[in-house]
Amino acid sequence: MKPGQWLQPRHGSQEAFEKDYPKIEATGVDVICPGCKETVHLTRRGPTGKIGGWCKRCNRGAGV
């Protein structure tokens, strides 16, 4: 599993993250959260094709 990175700009809320990444990916990728080192499942895709996920423990968006 590869290490993840924080999504830029920092998403202050999960609602803003879900708005920026509206499409749900059925087959996501797992990465290691750069903050708490827990596994984050990347299940959201943005209009530009970037994939992201939400770390519930850090309350922040993460990606590849």
Q: Is the pTM of this model over 0.95?
A: no
Residue 27 or 39, more confident: 39
Tokens of residue 7, six digits: 């999504």
For 28-59, what is each residue's pLDDT tens digit?
899 999 999 999 999 999 999 899 999 999 99
Beta partners for residue 41, in sequence order: 30
Q: Please state, in angstroms and as integers, the Cα–Cα distance from residue 14 to each residue in 1, 2, 19, 53, following that order.
A: 24, 23, 9, 10
Could you tell me if 12 and 37 are in contact, meaning their C-beta atoms sit under 8 angstroms apart?
Answer: no
Pairing mode of beta strands 2-3, 23-32: parallel
